């Protein structure tokens, strides 16, 4: 169960809330600062109520009656938690394991959020990343997808001998989407294609096909280029937020990787 799921428990169905004998205070000053209720002397903190409200309602403003309903839920959570402690449920290994998992997951999440929010990058750093980005290309191409390299090489031999690319694609391509279209992919941005495919297409002139098979996660391709054009790169200001997120993510990941490298780890090979 996730932390969010724990916070989102629906206690309204427990009608015994109404049967509880509770002394309701009319004035907030009757309780210590930051406390919104007590259950058998244990305080229910306002910050927890605020967290529950955010989890349930997001950023929507909550009405006073909503706060009362949420507070009743928190009171029931605290009451059930106390009963779980009294019956020994909290001491069970499976309960302790789930609490530990939720606790450490939350701490890790909060740490990564803090690192992300506190990291600052200069415009010079962002500009350097922007300048290193090559303008994207739009490729209009056809391909024949084969299951293995030998089959792809055989297709290339047939093309070199004068066979029609589209005819072979219709007969032997494993790509069901393009097979009936003679292998035509249409116009696709380079960023939507695997890098090996794009690199191979860049070496071709319009009408040419790859002299050797191109390997991707999908299999072995024979690629024919119809046309290629360079797209205008978005402005630095337009790309700045994305560049910032990308660089911050890379640096946070690098820091975490460094911490792991420096940690003293002992792990079972087959846990």
Reported as a single tens digit per residue, the pLDDT across 190-207 is 999 999 999 999 999 999
pLDDT in tens, 62-77: 777 788 999 999 999 9
Residues 93 and 159 in one domain: no
pLDDT-derived band at 241, boundaries 50, 70, 90: very high
Domain boundary among 49, 82, 97: 97
82 domain-assigned = yes
Judge residue 260's burial from the number of C-beta atoms within 10 Å of its C-beta, 0-12 exposed, 13-18 middle, 19 or more buried.
Answer: exposed
Question: Strand runs (DSSP E) across the chain, as ranges?
Answer: 35-39, 42-45, 137-146, 184-189, 214-216, 219-230
Q: Give mean pLDDT, residues 219-227.
A: 98
Average confidence score pLDDT of the chain: 90
* Rounded CA separation 213/6 (Å): 53
Does residue 132 belong to any structural domain of this protein?
A: no
Q: Domain limits at 41?
A: 3-97
Residue 29 is predicted with a pLDDT of: 58
Q: How many domains does the chain have?
A: 2
Q: Do 219 and 159 lie in a common domain?
A: yes
Calpha distance 266→76 (Å, rounded): 42
Look up residue 34 and give its two tokens: 């930051």
Range in 14-28, 41-55, 158-172 the model is least confident about: 14-28
* Domain stop point among 67, 97, 127: 97
Binned at pLDDT 50, 70 and 90, residue 22 comes out as: low
pLDDT of residue 109: 97
- Could you tell me the CATH number of the domain that includes residue 159? 3.10.50.40
Exposed e or buried b per residue across 3-41, where buried means at least 16 C-beta atoms within 10 angstroms of its C-beta: eeeebeeebeebeebeeeeeeeeeeeeeeeeeebbbbee
Question: How many CA atoms does the CB half-sphere of 109 hold within 13 Å?
Answer: 9
Instruction: Annotate 19-64 with DSSP letters as a single string.
Output: H------S-GGGS-TTEEEEETTEEEEHHHHHHHHHHHHTTSPPPH
Residue 59 above 80 pLDDT? no
């Amino acid at each position: 169960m996730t932390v969010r799921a724990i916070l989102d428990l629906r206690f309204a169905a427990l009608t015994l809330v109404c049967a509880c004998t509770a002394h309701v205070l009319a004035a907030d000053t009757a309780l210590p600062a930051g406390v919104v209720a007590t259950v058998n002397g244990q305080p229910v903190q306002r910050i927890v109520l605020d967290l529950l409200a955010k989890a349930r309602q997001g950023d929507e403003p909550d009405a006073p009656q909503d706060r009362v309903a949420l507070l009743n839920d928190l009171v029931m959570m605290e009451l059930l938690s106390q009963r779980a402690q009294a019956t020994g449920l909290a001491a069970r290994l499976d309960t302790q394991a789930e609490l530990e998992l939720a606790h450490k997951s939350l701490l890790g999440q909060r740490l990564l959020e803090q690192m992300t929010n506190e990291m600052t990058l200069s415009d010079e750093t962002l500009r350097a990343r922007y300048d290193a980005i090559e303008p994207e290309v739009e490729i209009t191409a056809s391909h024949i997808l084969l299951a293995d390299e030998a089959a792809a090489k055989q297709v290339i031999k047939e093309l070199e001998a004068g066979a029609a690319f589209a005819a072979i694609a219709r007969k032997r391509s494993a790509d069901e989407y393009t097979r009936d279209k003679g292998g035509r992919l249409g116009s696709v941005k380079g960023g939507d294609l695997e890098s090996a495919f794009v690199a191979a297409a860049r070496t071709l002139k319009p009408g040419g096909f790859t002299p050797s098979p191109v390997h991707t996660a999908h299999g072995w391709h024979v690629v024919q280029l119809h046309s290629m054009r360079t797209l205008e790169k978005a402005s630095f200001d337009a790309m700045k937020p994305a560049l910032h997120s990308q660089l911050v993510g890379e640096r946070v990941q690098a820091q975490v990787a460094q911490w792991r490298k420096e940690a003293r780890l002992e792990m079972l090979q087959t846990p």
